[in-house]
Structure 1
Amino acid sequence: MSKSLKVKKPRKPMLERFPFTWFPFTLLRAFIYFIIDMYHLARNHVERSVRLQLVLTFSACFGAALLFYGVSSALFGQINKGTVIDYTMGIERIDNEARNLVRILEPPSYEDEIVAEEPVAPSEVAVERIPEPGIVQHHATEPGSPGHPPDTQMEDDPNKRRQDDYENRLRSFTSNVKRLAANEKFKIVVTDLYGKVVFRSENAPEMYVDVHSVIRNAMDTRNDFRDSRTEFSSFYPVTYNNQKSYLVVTGIPQPHISYVKGQSPISMLSALGVFIFLFYFMTQRKMRYLEELAGGLRIISTGNLDHRVVERSRDELGSLARDMNQMVSELQLKMEEERRAERLKNELVTNVSHDLRTPLTLIMGYLRLLHDKNYESPEQAAGYVSIAYSKAEKLKGLIDDLFEYTKLSNQDVPLHKRGVVLNEVLEQLLEEYVTLSEEEKLTLIRSIPQDKLIVQVDVDKIIRVFDNLLSNAIKYSPKPGVISVGLAQDKQHAVVRISNKADALTREELELLFDRFYRIDPARGSTTGGSGLGLAIAKSIVESHNGQIWAESDDGDIHFYVKLKLVS
């Protein structure tokens, strides 16, 4: 008993088995697709534009040069490192110490108006209860001693608290002044509004200060940030001993030594060299392609129209190469057409000379016989006259055909178009050829539909086309034989077909049938063909009506087709 085979289903792709339908993953995938689409769009634009390629190349080379300049500047800067002495930090230190002293002296109401730049260290504002010489000291009795008021009385007396707070700040101010004078060698003085010193540090000998000069020195130094080690004074208004005063802190700023990277022209020159090298290297391919195009033009200019340049890109240079190849192809085609026209012109002269010379020679020969009376009887003379006249008619027909073909080729013949029923035109024309075909032992077979097919044509010219085709069919058909004429509708066109038996022809021979003076018989005997302009005239007439005419050969039959547009 056979077991049923289980068909294994193919595994689904990863994206189908795990379709990231959650919102964050869907948004991320859409963003990734958007980035990819934008990348392809930008790439296509860049590939199609030489200008964008040059802009990107220049940007890349410039960025690489800047990067190299930064690296080389850092390298040569370390080698050519210079030393810079700056006194700005020392000046700021003096000014900050002066601000700290102002914060100690000023009451809380004034402290809010001063913008602190650096916080005061706790050690600097700590209150030291060390009596200082020259300062009026206010000694407070210890609690519990005689004359000491009770604690509750001190707490309730605001004047007492304010006085104690001021004494504490004054002691802290004195302690900080002593520290700055001893450690930092700063000279600190407090003057009244007129410049008289009311307080000074131990290292300050001045008894009077020119306030105007101090203010100018302080402002000039702050604005200029002097880079030389000169004495600097920081000046602030304060309240000292309940009097408006000026605080002047003077000191020599300490230098700050820093190292700066040196400058070297080698960095700039090397960056410029990197830019030039990269730009030359990245544009070398395009320049080589330009040289290739220029070389191709030089080869083409020498007359070698078989040379083609290679399309290596999709930008303007590729378009230039494509246009060059198209130009050369069109030029080659035109030159071939000119050579062919020249060849046909030479053939025309040769053929016309041959076709005119043969009947003209015969006419002159018979006329000479008549002129010399070289005939035996009047009947023989009449025969000579008849032969000369027939040859003259043939000569006139050849000249007429040649003249008409020339006019049709130059489009000098006006067309008098009108709407006609093509069925009726063919019926009337075939009736005229019934007797001639019977004399030539040929049978005409018609296949013309009852539906009227109306075309806008010049009737006389179109009749000339069908007359030439029917004449050729009668002339070249084997006797006895059959000539079939058919009419059919092909969408918006009417197609006429004229067929007869003939030797099989190649495709090249079928295309040459409509050339002027072309005959299949190379001997070009007068008995094997006419002027050789019939089919060429027919082609010119059909093309002037915006129609088509062509020939086909199969199974020993040759078919001529004429396609004309129907009136809608």
Structure 2
Amino acid sequence: MKTLRIRKFMVIGMYSVVILPWMIYFFIHFNGTPFQNGAQAEKQKLNETLDMIVTNSAKWENPEWQKNLRSQLLKGNIHVEILSPSKHLIFKSGNWRSNPWISNQQFTVIESGKILGTVKLYSQMKSDIIARLLAMTAMILGIFFVGFKMQKNIVKPLEAMSGTARQIAEGDLDLNLPVSRVTEIEEVRSGFEVMVAGLREAFEKQAKLEEERRFFIGAIAHDLRTPLFALRGYLDGLEKGIAASPEKIATYVSVCKEKSNQLDRLVSDLFAFTKLEYMEQTLYCEKIEIELILKSSIESLKPLAEEKGVSIESEFPAYKCEITGDRHLLERAMNNLLDNALRHTPNGSKIFVNWYKEPGKVTISVRDSGPGFSPADLKHMFEPLYRGEVSRNRATGGAGLGLTIARRIFKAHSGELSAANYPDGGAVLIGWILSEFRGDEL
């Protein structure tokens, strides 16, 4: 839809109301029209009347001549007023000065250098009346036209926007703004629609976040309650003397220790997750060697791996590679990846850790020897609190936040983390980080 700038709209309105009526008037009054012949005849009668008065100045006060003049004036629809040199009224053909359609001409009659008087001719020419009528009609129609267009394209849209602002303030986003042909009004209308679309998206996102928050709180509460109940049960057993033998006491204490460690891990994951939204603002970046981070994470997980009889095998390039990042967060991400692999690797199996350089980035992979991910798992792998029915379940411990935290740490370092199934079996997690400092090859 074509639109007009408001200044152009106002110029067109002014032209329609002011200039166009005058153009119509002058065109009809001075140019060839169907009324031209009649106008020429009227002008001829006017000239004849003027000649009759000027050539008979001596008879101006003669009643008989005045009677004949009145008769002549009635035929031509002309009115005359004759004044003496001292402006004394000599003759007047009637009371017509209040008629707005009368046009007048004034002539001074001079003979032999002497002023005889003044003649005022008042005529009611049909062509002039028609021109004026048409001009007034055009002006009235122009006013109605401009008023209608202003009402439709300016007033109504502005009123609708005013009502819309109140609707938005009340939380009602179901809006229907009228279209306008004025560019500025249409731009404001488009801005309103963009704003409403943004608000609607924000409200939907807020509702989704609120739903996720409720789910998150419920899931965390459930995960915390499970080890707490177990811990309380075993502590009650110890208190009541159910564990009578040293072996049974040792077993109860071992289970209590395991449950307390599980609680510590849940709280730690929860605390880390709540800080993820502000991770980019709290990064402590420094130059670090990627291999040192991997070796540190492997060493921290070795005791748990040895308990399960799982070996962690690493194959690193024979050169160093420096990256810019937060050492603590990157170690946490690697710990989460290795912990996930360890929890899903059968006893006596292996975990493989590798890294290698690519143009502008360094890539890390962690592969386990477990059953791998199901197609359903791969779709939701990095969602908070998600656990698959087989490969990822609460029996392995954790709140389902480990991979979510790891992925957000990679993203905070302008990287990414993805999951897949290895062709020879097992699950593989592949992450990459931008590498501005590539290091020197050995």
**TM-score surpassing 0.5?**
yes
SS at match of 1:327: helix
* Number of residue-to-residue matches in the alignment: 374
CA distance in 1, matches of 2:293, 2:219: 34
| Equivalent residue runs for 1:224-235 within 5 Å | 227-229=107-109, 231-233=111-113
Residues 310 and 251 of structure 1, relative CA distance in 2, 3 Å threshold: closer
Determine the structure 2 residue equivalent to 1:425: 293
Shift of 1:458: 2.0
Determine the structure 2 residue equivalent to 1:505: 375
CA contact (8 A) 1:57 1:279 kept: yes
Shift of 1:341: 2.2
CA contact (8 A) 1:519 1:532 kept: yes
Shift of 1:50: 3.4
Determine the structure 2 residue equivalent to 1:564: 433
CA contact (8 A) 1:83 1:260 kept: no
Determine the structure 1 residue equivalent to 2:139: 272
Larger radius of gyration: 1
SS at match of 2:431: strand
Shift of 1:464: 0.7
Instruction: Return the match for 1:533 from 401, 421, 424.
Output: 401
CA distance in 1, matches of 2:178, 2:319: 57
Determine the structure 2 residue equivalent to 1:55: 11
Determine the structure 2 residue equivalent to 1:67: 23
CA contact (8 A) 1:423 1:449 kept: no
Instruction: Return the match for 1:356 from 217, 224, 230.
Output: 224
Residues 329 and 560 of structure 1, relative CA distance in 2, 3 Å threshold: farther
SS at match of 2:417: strand
Shift of 1:528: 3.4
CA contact (8 A) 1:434 1:444 kept: yes
Residues 523 and 62 of structure 1, relative CA distance in 2, 3 Å threshold: farther
Identity, in percent, stands at: 24
SS at match of 1:527: helix
Q: What is the CA deviation profile of residues 267-308 of structure 1, one whole-angstrom value per residue up to 9, with x for unaligned ones?
A: 554232121233245557635982796487787677564767
Determine the structure 1 residue equivalent to 2:153: 286
Determine the structure 2 residue equivalent to 1:317: 185
Aligned CA RMSD, in angstroms, stands at 4.8
Residues 227 and 490 of structure 1, relative CA distance in 2, 3 Å threshold: same
| Equivalent residue runs for 1:378-397 within 5 Å | 378-397=246-265
Residues 534 and 314 of structure 1, relative CA distance in 2, 3 Å threshold: farther
CA distance in 2, matches of 1:558, 1:312: 59
Residues 438 and 356 of structure 1, relative CA distance in 2, 3 Å threshold: closer
Shift of 1:354: 1.2
Determine the structure 2 residue equivalent to 1:474: 342
CA distance in 2, matches of 1:401, 1:374: 34
Q: What is the CA deviation profile of residues 65-86 of structure 1, one whole-angstrom value per residue up to 9, with x for unaligned ones?
A: 3334446767699599894776
Q: What is the CA deviation profile of residues 243-287 of structure 1, one whole-angstrom value per residue up to 9, with x for unaligned ones?
A: xxxxxxx79799999978476574554232121233245557635
CA distance in 2, matches of 1:484, 1:268: 94
CA distance in 2, matches of 1:316, 1:334: 27
Determine the structure 2 residue equivalent to 1:521: 389
Residues 481 and 392 of structure 1, relative CA distance in 2, 3 Å threshold: closer
Determine the structure 1 residue equivalent to 2:242: 374
CA contact (8 A) 1:495 1:564 kept: yes
CA distance in 1, matches of 2:182, 2:348: 65
CA distance in 2, matches of 1:554, 1:324: 51
Shift of 1:433: 4.8
Residues 412 and 393 of structure 1, relative CA distance in 2, 3 Å threshold: farther
Determine the structure 2 residue equivalent to 1:22: none
Q: What is the CA deviation profile of residues 424-454 of structure 1, one whole-angstrom value per residue up to 9, with x for unaligned ones?
A: 3224434555675576565656454334321
CA contact (8 A) 1:417 1:457 kept: yes
CA contact (8 A) 1:232 1:253 kept: no
Gap regions ≥5 residues in structure 2 = 56-104, 438-442
CA contact (8 A) 2:387 2:394 kept: no
Residues 330 and 83 of structure 1, relative CA distance in 2, 3 Å threshold: same
CA contact (8 A) 1:415 1:458 kept: yes
Residues 426 and 401 of structure 1, relative CA distance in 2, 3 Å threshold: same
Instruction: Return the match for 2:202 from 329, 334, 351.
Output: 334
CA distance in 2, matches of 1:499, 1:305: 49
CA distance in 1, matches of 2:122, 2:176: 69
Determine the structure 1 residue equivalent to 2:274: 406
Query: Structure 1: which amino acid aligns with 2:107?
Result: D
SS at match of 2:107: coil
Residues 380 and 477 of structure 1, relative CA distance in 2, 3 Å threshold: closer
CA distance in 2, matches of 1:435, 1:333: 48
Determine the structure 1 residue equivalent to 2:101: none
CA distance in 1, matches of 2:156, 2:422: 52
Shift of 1:370: 1.8
Residues 480 and 269 of structure 1, relative CA distance in 2, 3 Å threshold: farther
Shift of 1:411: 4.8
SS at match of 1:536: helix
